[in-house]
Each structure stands twice: as C-alpha cells, then as structure tokens.
Amino acid sequence: MKSNMTRSFSRIILALIISIVIWLVLMILVAGKIDPEWGDLVFLLWIKDPGLNYYLGYLIGIVFTILTIMFFGGLYAFLRRKTHSLTLWIAILFVPIYGVINLLVYSSQLLFVPQLIQSYSDQIADVRISMYLLQMIQLRAGSFMAYSSSLAYLILGIPSVIFGILLLKSHYTAKFAGSFLILYAVSCLLGVTGSALGNKFLSMGTMAGVVFFLIAMIFLFAYTRLKGQAKHDLPD
C-alpha cells in the first residue's frame, strides 16, 4: 500500500476507534437508566423523552456505521493486492447489506421512534398498540429492531471472518487484528443465538463483539502506523 493510501486508511481506522469508544460510553450510560423490572408502559413512557445521551448515542452509531463501511472498503483494497480470489469479492458484498440494515435501525431510533411513541401517547395503554410500538424500539430486548441490529452485526461477521483469516498471513500486529475480527464474528453469532433462545448471557455476545472489533481496529491502526513509518516495507 502506498504511503498516502496507508495514511488515509490509518485516519479512517482512528476515526472509527474514537467513534466506537464514544458510542460504547453513551450506550452504557443509556442502558444504565433502563430498569430490567420496567413494564411495557413504563418503557414506552421513557422512550418518549430518553435524554441527550440516547440521541447522541444513535447519532454516533450512524457515524461509526458509515466509518465501518469505509474501513472495510479500505481493508478490501489492501487485501486485494495479495489475493484476487472470489471469496474476497463475496466478502465485500456483505458490507453494504450490513450498512443498510444498521443505518435504518439507528436512524429510526434517532428520527422516528420517540416521535412515533409521542404521537400514540394517548393510546399506549392499548395492548395491540403498545406491542407494535415495543417492536420498533432497538433497546427493547427481543424486539424486531433489536433482532435487526443483531442481524446486521452478524452479517458483518462474514467479511470479518474472511478478511480476518487473510490478515493472519500478515505482520504480527495484523495477525492480532485478524484474530479479533474472527472473535467479533463468533461473538455476534452467540449474541443472535442468545437473543433467539432468550438467554441473557449469550445475548450479550453482540456487545462483546463490538469490543473485539474495537480491539481489532487498535491493532490495525498500530500496523498502519508501523507500515507508514517503516523505512522498508513491513511484510503484508
């Protein structure tokens, strides 16, 4: 990878790292306000006015989703120099699918859901309406939006595994990144399985996967910095 391409890729990774850290902090703060003992009505009333951290969290979520798409595009360009296999082409096709689903979920929570619940505020005591509204809330475990978000991360796990395996053949810092990309995919699979089975412990896999993904980005950032500063090319 030429030095200017390496620098550009490094900046994308750094921006992605920062956005993920901010998103994790904001989502932890938001989740801390949710009482597991809340009934449906209380949960809906809270979503009507969830506070600043909620809106900032989903705004940052949109940003890091876009940066993730850019990152995989850059990683694809890097790995394509080493292999032109059909597998690599197939892998990159899953990235925009992830992007569309995740952007729809996050943007709906930011721009649509609180306003939707506000418009039905006089009818949320109706069981049918409350069940419909709850399905639209991504923070509600077992909802349609929660499953959709988990599915998006699971789909991203496919290129993560493929790219991760290819990175295992690179410099040791890239090997670590590849390993954590694979762990990310496995964790997301466990998270979706846990959500489907109603297992709260396994359902945390998706969030754990985001942490593994963050660690992978840190190793890849270190690799691109080393590659950009080296007088002689590091092994790809």
Residue range 23-44, pLDDT digits in tens: 999 999 998 888 878 888 888 8
pLDDT of residue 86: 79
Residue entry with tokens 């940003």 = 63
232 pLDDT above the threshold of 60: no
- Looking at per-residue pLDDT, the higher value among 96 and 207 belongs to 96
Instruction: Please tell me the distance from the alpha carbon of residue 155 to that of residue 145, in angstroms, as a whole number.
Output: 15
Give me 67's structure tokens.
């940066």
Instruction: State the pLDDT confidence band at 233, using cuts at 50, 70 and 90.
Output: very low
pLDDT of residue 229: 59
Residue entry with tokens 């306000």 = 33
Work out whether the CA dihedral 131, 132, 133, 134 comes out positive or negative: positive
**pTM listed for this prediction:** 0.89
Q: How many CA atoms lie within 13 A of 178 on its CB side?
A: 17
pLDDT of residue 3: 65
- Looking at per-residue pLDDT, the higher value among 7 and 222 belongs to 222
Which residue in 170, 155, 160, 177 sits closest to 81, CA to CA? 170
